[in-house]
Structure 1
Amino acid sequence: MCSGMRSISKSKFAVRKLLQQCVTVSKLEPCIGLSFCNLTVMQSTPLCQNMSTGVRTRNINPRTEHYIASDVKCTSVRQKSDSVLHESYTAQEGSDQKEEKKEEKEKEWYQSSTFKGIAAVTATSLTVGSLAYLMHVQGEPMRTESGEIIDDEFTGKWNGNFSRAIQRYINPSREQLLPEPLQPPYYQPPYTLVMEITGVLLHPEWTYETGWRFKKRPGVDYFFSKVCPPLFEVVIFTSEGGMNADPLVNNLDPHGAVMYRLYRDSTKYVNGHHVKDLSYLNRDLSKVIMIDCNEKSFQFHARNGLKLKKWTGDNDDKTLIDLANFLQVVGSSGVEDVRTVMEYYSRFDDPMGAFKENQRKLEEEKQRRLAVASSQDQKKNWFWRK
């Protein structure tokens, strides 16, 4: 009997200890019970209080009171944890607001007139300083092989270096754009033909699908076959940059009819235009012919130039064929000064049309003379027959 009572008391002690360990059970559970020796302990919740469990109140009151007290403790713990979480969230929210305010202040500073003024002054100072340094370096005077300075028109002036740099930018990159004419036993063609490529030999086109493309003018191959040596020394002189124009010339002239190539660095910059100063070519100007579609490009030597209409991509164009025939006639005629011929044809809006008309008249005159000569021969023959 005593042993049975002792086991029951031990069991009750174990139940009480187990209940103490389970005080943190969540209230979300509708009903939690522990059964031992026909004794059921129910969680004291409104849902469980309204449920019929079949257990007498007197048997569970001590356990329920203990559980309620434990639940109060759990609630206080939860409230503390919630307060701690709320404080941490509030602190984080406050730090985020501080960061946002800091960013707004930085944006306002960058957008302020003070910052813009400082940035403008800094950028201007750096730009001016860099340009001044580059112009000073580029404007250094020429020196001999021993290192002595060569005097020029800017020597002794306070802005000598800057003046030299400006002149070197405006003027061609070197004093002689072409080498000395070939001497015997090598052959030097008697005439020099200077050609522009853009608008004369090529037409640039741009589309969204293909970007920049260059269309080859009809008759280019025939033209180079007629104006190549021995009559002409062909020089490509264009206002385009060398990196862009050089591969174009390679495609235009696969057989090497072009002897020299000159690009934008060889021009003289005057009033917004890249002028081709023929006096830098190191050739006799009485034997130089300039072909271009922009008369401002050869404004210093208008008598040497022949202006053609700018080609716009017409596939039926035959100007180059007529031009090749014209130049071949000039070269084979042995003209002493080509400037007289160029000056004459420059008066016409369509020089090649005027040349073709003159050729037609010459051919008619030739036929008329042949007819007259033939008639005279017939008369002579008739006289001797008599």
Structure 2
Amino acid sequence: MTAPAVPHQPVAPRTGARPAGRRRSVLVVGLVAGAAALVLCALVSVAVGAREVPLAHAWDALTAYTPGDIEHEAVRSRIPRTVLGLLVGAALGLAGALMQGVTRNPLADPGILGVNAGASVLVVLGIVVLGITSPTQYVWFAFAGAAMASVAVYAVASLGRGGATPVKLALAGACITAALTSLITAMLITSTDSLDTFRFWQVGAVSGRSMETVATVAPYLAVGAVVALASGRVLNALSLGDDVARGLGQHVGRSRALAAVGIVLLAGGSTAAAGPVAFVGLTVPHVARAVTGPDYRWILPYSAVLGAGLVVVSDILGRVVARPGQLQVGIVTAVLGAPVFIALVRRRKLAEL
């Protein structure tokens, strides 16, 4: 006698984390949507200013330029600041994510490795001693200062047992930043003219820059971006702790040194071109992490897209709210970034990395 057939009972799908393939597809779609939004922001950026240009005419100025047309000339004059805003925002977003991953410090930003202070001290030296006044001349001084300060911080943190640990990097960065800031103050108080020149660079701005400035820093930012985007797996291993990373086959010291090179290129190049732009490197990686989760292979590209968007939108707002003048982008990013950062802290999104 055969047993009666038991109807097949479908297995209830597991609730919880969505399948990895579906989540990856969602993240890819989000990244593509973010890139499309960046294109729209760039178009708005070249259309908004003292002379308003309709978006259709702005597009014509980019695709079918007519020499002598006033609207087309206005759009073309805004291209350098828009391109620089995209590059600086993406670079600072990537640099912030790299810093937070390498140091496992949720408060890391371009100031923690002395990048801003190093760039500032050589800019001041160039202004006081050599009398430089052009943003194109600032670039090389700022870049060299950022690189030297970052190397000094890493060298100091590497002394003693354990090498450049996250805590030692943070402490060394804070000490060297304090020392360089004191030196900057000492040089500036001796010259009022130098102080007036320096403060326009220090506030952080993408206006008044030419395509020559963009072309000067773009190669360094491109190399830094490649280093950063290739560091996703390394940062994932480092986030588990040095011992676990070594167990997974990572050379911790070499990995941190390579990431430090990327940080110097990204943060140094962006600071050299636009000055110290606040809160981008600090806030953007946390927003990206809230969207993507803890995987740095996604945090890094999302940080680049969100950082570029934040700087360009801040530049647009600076031109809109202070007509016929403008607010520099460093002021607007601080105003926008601070509330977002406070909200993230209150919602406990700033877990220890």
- Please give the range of the TM-score, normalised by the shorter of the 2 chains: under 0.3
Q: Which has the larger radius of gyration?
A: 1
Task: Provide the TM-score with structure 2 as the length reference.
Answer: 0.26
Higher fraction of helix: 2
Task: Provide the TM-score with structure 1 as the length reference.
Answer: 0.24
